A and B are shown apart, each in its own frame.
Chain A
């Protein structure tokens, strides 16, 4: 299967639209061993493409979080391949992974995870500096990112003084620090009201459209499907289906199945 991959199109950012930025091939994750072994994810194969918004859906405990954790290189797969920057990085250790994560991924979480003692600007700047201690103008970049997510007027505010939607925008700005080509959201809209959730999702969609970033979002919320290029359905640890909303599909729009994870790429 590996030999069949077009490795040349695993490109770093900025990548041409539709270029494959990351690829999971036959990835599995098993917790425990022997009789106590629990398979959290099996045979997961998935491409992450520049400029695409991918939703990962499925019931609780289905393996969604395991899937994005392996994709984001914060969890090691038990089996399979994770292709990034033109190579299989599945076997790399903790010595190499932080650099890969810093270059390739930004994360957005349901709980925002912002330092309450730091202003919005400082939260974004510190992440930039932590990712790259040699970053020259972390504060300038943080300011630009906050303006990009519509928080130019709030950058001196502490997280406690911001609404949920504003906090999530700060978290998105933080995730964009260092200019990673892939944004991964772990239920980033779950703690937000509908209107705010849709506006946050709209922002992520814009980032995919205007900057060519790949956006991968785990969600339980089917209303977000209208922002997606693809919806990956995960159940019982397997990718059951990868579908694409029909053009003009709304929250409950029709979908066309493009491929199954177990079919060859």
Chain B
């Protein structure tokens, strides 16, 4: 059956090429769009995912991770004293203006973390590729990502500038830490962060409290105790990550947008392959009818058509997947992350096979309804 299917497909090479092109474009669109979506979502929750905290605590009214409302530092001490909490750290976050070398300003996302703790920090810059991140404790020290060089008009570690009119010195560089909001992320110490963020108020504002649960303590129980504190909401790190992804995915329409394009890609493939298979079936309808007249079962003829669909799916995937990889490389240059991973490839392969099988449905119905007597009539 495979041999017959292959030869029937290859007999009209142009039509076959169109079918493979259709499936390839479909595969590429699905991979790139879904990969972009996951890339964006990874970016959206990257800071949360990189933390070593068990629980994230924020203001109850917060909807978005980035645009969180600060609260008074006293809440930090209340959280720290909750039974089951081993230790807690403050995070101060908000947006500030970064002074560019040409005199202009650029909005950046300040992430102030604890640097003086006597234990491994629950949140710190990761993927450090240059400089010394331990200097972050120094007043005015900042760490930023190498990919933001052009945007921030910086060319070296040691670059000195101002954020909100306060001195800032680049002490280290990271690789691959980007914000979903596209504003460069600037890591700094909590105290320095407060100086960059005067809009948070003159007190001791805190945006999040990160909690490490004591060994043997039940994370859910500790989370519930913290959640019961006035005005505070506690989430496990996984919940916080999911909440952030869901916010950006649903509230902004980003998810719908990417998946709509992916679905359109599938539809394109469906229509192209369906049309090609159907016209091929019509072309050979008398031959199929002859085989049925001579005793071929419907299942045997259907196998030929399904085999054609699966050959189209396999070759289309074989072409489309490398195209998506090439797109990933090209888009990396534009600071866009296309997250391609084995499960996505496997899922897309299954979708492609299902798409092609579904596209064969019309052809299958045609041969199932084909009356073998029809070959006698002309």
> Is B14's beta carbon under 8 Å from chain A?
no
Q: Which of B1, B7, B289, B293 contacts A122 (CB 8 A)?
A: B7
Report the separation of the CA atoms of residues A115 and B4 in the bound assembly, to the nearest whole angstrom: 9
CB contacts between A and B, total, < 8 Å? 86
Asked whether, in the complex, the Cβ of B375 is within 8 Å of the Cβ of A130, the reply is no
> Is A179's beta carbon under 8 Å from chain B?
no
Asked whether, in the complex, the Cβ of A101 is within 8 Å of the Cβ of B4, the reply is no
Asked whether, in the complex, the Cβ of B294 is within 8 Å of the Cβ of A111, the reply is no
Asked whether, in the complex, the Cβ of A109 is within 8 Å of the Cβ of B295, the reply is no
> Is B297's beta carbon under 8 Å from chain A?
yes
A97-127 residues with Cβ-Cβ distance < 8 A to B are 98-103, 105-107, 109, 111, 113-118, 122, 126-127
Asked whether, in the complex, the Cβ of A114 is within 8 Å of the Cβ of B294, the reply is no
Asked whether, in the complex, the Cβ of B375 is within 8 Å of the Cβ of A105, the reply is no
Pull 20 A–B residue pairs with CB atoms less than 8 Å apart, ordered by A.
A69-B376, A74-B376, A75-B373, A101-B294, A101-B372, A102-B296, A103-B295, A105-B294, A106-B294, A109-B290, A111-B378, A113-B286, A115-B287, A117-B7, A122-B3, A126-B4, A126-B291, A130-B291, A130-B301, A175-B294
- With CB as the reference atom, state the residue of chain A lying closest to B374: A74
Question: Nearest Cβ in chain B — how far from A197, in angstroms?
Answer: 19
Chain B residues contacting A107 (CB-CB under 8 Å) are 290, 293-294, 375
State the B residues within 8 Å of A (CB). Answer: 1, 3-4, 7-8, 10-11, 284, 286-287, 289-298, 300-301, 371-373, 375-378
Chain B residues contacting A116 (CB-CB under 8 Å) are 11
Asked whether, in the complex, the Cβ of A65 is within 8 Å of the Cβ of B295, the reply is no
Report the separation of the CA atoms of residues A142 and B152 in the bound assembly, to the nearest whole angstrom: 75
Chain A residues contacting B8 (CB-CB under 8 Å) are 115, 117
Given known pairs A122-B7, A131-B295, A131-B296, the reply for A113 and B373 (CB within 8 Å) is no
Chain B residues contacting A103 (CB-CB under 8 Å) are 295
Report the separation of the CA atoms of residues A75 and B377 in the bound assembly, to the nearest whole angstrom: 11
The 8 closest A-B pairs by CB, nearest first: A102-B295, A117-B11, A130-B296, A101-B295, A113-B290, A74-B372, A117-B7, A74-B373
A60-87 residues with Cβ-Cβ distance < 8 A to B are 65, 68-69, 72, 74-75
Asked whether, in the complex, the Cβ of B376 is within 8 Å of the Cβ of A68, the reply is yes
Q: Which of B290, B294, B300, B377 contacts A133 (CB 8 A)?
A: B300
- With CB as the reference atom, state the residue of chain A lying closest to B3: A122
> Is A178's beta carbon under 8 Å from chain B?
yes
DSSP majority for the B interface? helix
Asked whether, in the complex, the Cβ of B293 is within 8 Å of the Cβ of A72, the reply is yes
Question: Nearest Cβ in chain B — how far from A113, in angstroms?
Answer: 4
Asked whether, in the complex, the Cβ of B297 is within 8 Å of the Cβ of A186, the reply is no
Question: Nearest Cβ in chain B — how far from A32, in angstroms?
Answer: 16
Q: Which of A109, A117, A127 contacts B375 (CB 8 A)?
A: A109
Chain B residues contacting A186 (CB-CB under 8 Å) are 375-376
Asked whether, in the complex, the Cβ of B294 is within 8 Å of the Cβ of A102, the reply is yes
Residue-wise, chain A 153-179 has the 8 Å CB interface mask toward B (1 for contact) of 000000000000000000000110110
Given known pairs A65-B377, A107-B290, the reply for A115 and B295 (CB within 8 Å) is no
- With CB as the reference atom, state the residue of chain A lying closest to B301: A130
Asked whether, in the complex, the Cβ of A114 is within 8 Å of the Cβ of B287, the reply is yes
Question: Nearest Cβ in chain A — how far from B322, in angstroms?
Answer: 28
Report the separation of the CA atoms of residues A114 and B372 in the bound assembly, to the nearest whole angstrom: 15
Asked whether, in the complex, the Cβ of A99 is within 8 Å of the Cβ of B300, the reply is no
Report the separation of the CA atoms of residues A65 and B376 in the bound assembly, to the nearest whole angstrom: 7
Report the separation of the CA atoms of residues A177 and B295 in the bound assembly, to the nearest whole angstrom: 11
Report the separation of the CA atoms of residues A115 and B1 in the bound assembly, to the nearest whole angstrom: 13
- With CB as the reference atom, state the residue of chain A lying closest to B7: A117
Given known pairs A75-B373, A113-B290, A130-B300, the reply for A178 and B295 (CB within 8 Å) is yes
Chain B residues contacting A75 (CB-CB under 8 Å) are 373, 376
Chain A residues contacting B284 (CB-CB under 8 Å) are 115
